[in-house]
Structure 1
């Protein structure tokens, strides 16, 4: 493998500029989910990103196909059984406050910036380009390889079921959309809404709660107008919902202010005090009797991500990521026991955990590649995140973030160091060789 690795490293150095130029063409497509159209179930821009990427793959000499208008693939080899690399081309909205054009590829002091450079255009394109390098180096692969490009990962992964309706899953593979080393297990995820009723008279003292609130991040700024003419504004710090400790949640900051607001009814002040006491800086479920932990995956993570008002209710949305050895039913039972009286608990998202055999030979092969290239410990791990491994059979998560890198993907100025991207290119190219070189 060392001789193969040397050839791969040389090819990466020779082709570095071309690799970045080709990646830029994909980065420039603002592939945020849009209105469904004929031939574009997730919007025209994700479809355009898919077509742009497959056009590059065709220019490299690969067979390409779009399946059910939702997923595309580039294939090297003709065997119906294949190694599958499953990434995505859709991205979250850019948001505000960027110092660089979000839909481009900018470089400053060895760091690359752009929406999708880490999540997930950069890494999945590195897999495609790595396959291109193996082909051009005439390194024989015994197994067929498909690099599969999804277009709806950020909005619920409705794309992969459309792919699987027509295509068989890979015999093994990975998604380059998580972290290193190999991720063999993903925690279960359950998102809930806590719907608490109030009288219309009490709620009339509150205006609507304004701010950027979505299930993928900790809200960082919320504003609410009060009936007495006062405006309450809080500023926190945005972070991914699977790493809330890196942020400051504006929901609990708002609750802290409102629980002492004299103009509000006692019922509302009691509610906001409960929100603050149960959730402020209690990222691991301490305030919900959910401080659960296991050896494989660590602590449960609990993140409030949206608070909204209707005419008769306050609705608090919470994301819970629970360890792989626990079950959703136990989580919900504990939630019911802790919420305020008359609160309805509604499950709005349910994703069972994954637990792939960590001693599988292919998993160990990926671990070996990671150790060989980086010199770091490759012992397989688990994650709090949710990847395509929950939807596509027979795959695990593998990269692109290295230990210590967290909370970058959905923020402004999303970045990836150039050296890290090139290191990923080397890892993925060598991994493709390792998985596909022998029957």
Structure 2
């Protein structure tokens, strides 16, 4: 394996790269209701058609898979190396400085929904392969670049792919961070369902505001005994709650301080004491950690009034040496000790992922990253969830560099222009190393 300096080549060709990337960013590929020939909605089908159109203009053969994914392939062997990313994005909520579905260059940054997660990085792999082909590099292994459209909503597209296509012998997804990510923490979403007496519930309205499991909510309002209560926090990805200010616990603080109802006061005091700025389970006696993957992460992402009480949604990412059963047992203990009758409902379950960090392909990726950047290339683990959990023999690799966190699902999603081009250089070297 050798290292190639592609910086001048990338710089010379970046205008076309940006022009074609802009065509992908322009499509608002947020999952919608399924339609005939479009299982994840019309916009997600359109973005697949656009990536095929662009890839074919580069001279690659492209294939649509069940209208859910697309891939380009170089080589004809049955076994292949894979690169897999996604073209679906989360909704562009909030107030943006720049149009979310227009690629904008400003102050050395590139803005647009999907520029980081994940249109920019996976497209840089395609464009990097184009540059390698034009420079006459020949791959000794078959390579596929695969484009999915359901990563943000459960990755069901991978099942579609595996029903008709053979899995890669090894793959990476440019949808996390550097260096190579050899382990992903287990993830569960639970609902803590509490029952309150009707007379207490009647004192408070429904909770209003945007809430979803992918982010820390930033604005919530409700009416308490005729008084409007409103809080403003700071949105952040749910896997980095410490970067935000959670409106759920801020609202709980206001409610407990404004109500005279003993049941409401007990419920919201308990919620506040257990979760306000306690991101690692310490408020529930679940401050667990291990050497490989660090501390447990616990994020409240949903507070909803029901006909019988309240539903509190928690996103929990737990260290790789722990089990889902241990996490649920800890939550059940908390529920059993609560003043308000509470039960735990498991909503989503993603077991942890651990890959042998000494396998050859990981060493090849590690070399590409270390040689291009000069940074520490020791493989790491993550709190995130990527396609690597669903596609066999797959790890995450980039695009965020150490210290970069909490950008993907926010308003004004961006990448530094220099970082995106550096990603392309790393991926070009990675392709050559894997397919030497």
Say yes or no: does 1:260 pair with 2:257.
Answer: yes
SS in 2 for 1:40: coil
Structure 2 equivalent of residue 145 of structure 1: 143
Say yes or no: does 1:232 pair with 2:229.
Answer: yes
Shift of 1:9: 2.8
Distance 2:385 2:365 in 1: 20
Structure 1 equivalent of residue 318 of structure 2: 322
Within 5 A, what are the aligned runs for 1:13-52? 13-52=11-50
Structure 2 equivalent of residue 278 of structure 1: 274
Distance 1:81 1:177 in 2: 23
Within 5 A, what are the aligned runs for 1:38-117? 38-117=36-115
Distance 1:183 1:299 in 2: 16
After superposition, the C-alpha distances for 1:205-253 in whole angstroms (9 at most, x for unaligned) are 1111001100000000100012x32100011110001000000100001
Within 5 A, what are the aligned runs for 1:108-127? 108-127=106-125
Structure 2 equivalent of residue 11 of structure 1: 9
Structure 1 equivalent of residue 216 of structure 2: 218
Distance 1:305 1:323 in 2: 20
Distance 1:423 1:372 in 2: 12
Distance 1:354 1:30 in 2: 31
Distance 1:162 1:375 in 2: 39
Distance 1:302 1:245 in 2: 10
Which residue among 244, 267, 275 is the counterpart of 1:247?
Answer: 244
Distance 2:78 2:151 in 1: 25
Distance 2:333 2:172 in 1: 39
Distance 1:93 1:230 in 2: 32
Shift of 1:342: 2.5
Shift of 1:115: 0.4
Say yes or no: does 1:347 pair with 2:343.
Answer: no
After superposition, the C-alpha distances for 1:157-209 in whole angstroms (9 at most, x for unaligned) are 11111111111111001000000000000000011000001122211111110
Shift of 1:111: 0.6
Distance 2:201 2:40 in 1: 37
SS in 2 for 1:124: helix
RMSD, matched Cα: 1.0
Shift of 1:56: 0.5
SS in 2 for 1:211: coil
Shift of 1:35: 1.3
Structure 2 equivalent of residue 418 of structure 1: 417
SS in 1 for 2:36: coil
Q: TM-score, normalised by structure 2?
A: 0.98
Which residue among 168, 171, 176 is the counterpart of 1:170?
Answer: 168
After superposition, the C-alpha distances for 1:293-327 in whole angstroms (9 at most, x for unaligned) are 10100000000000000111200000000000110
Distance 1:332 1:16 in 2: 49
Structure 2 equivalent of residue 292 of structure 1: 288
Structure 2 equivalent of residue 364 of structure 1: 363
Distance 1:225 1:300 in 2: 34
Distance 1:355 1:300 in 2: 16
Shift of 1:266: 1.1
Distance 1:262 1:312 in 2: 19
SS in 1 for 2:372: helix
After superposition, the C-alpha distances for 1:109-151 in whole angstroms (9 at most, x for unaligned) are 2110000000000000001111111111111101111110010
SS in 2 for 1:5: coil
SS in 2 for 1:208: coil
Shift of 1:80: 1.4
Number of equivalences: 433
SS in 2 for 1:173: strand
Structure 2 equivalent of residue 193 of structure 1: 191
After superposition, the C-alpha distances for 1:321-349 in whole angstroms (9 at most, x for unaligned) are 00001100001001111122521100000
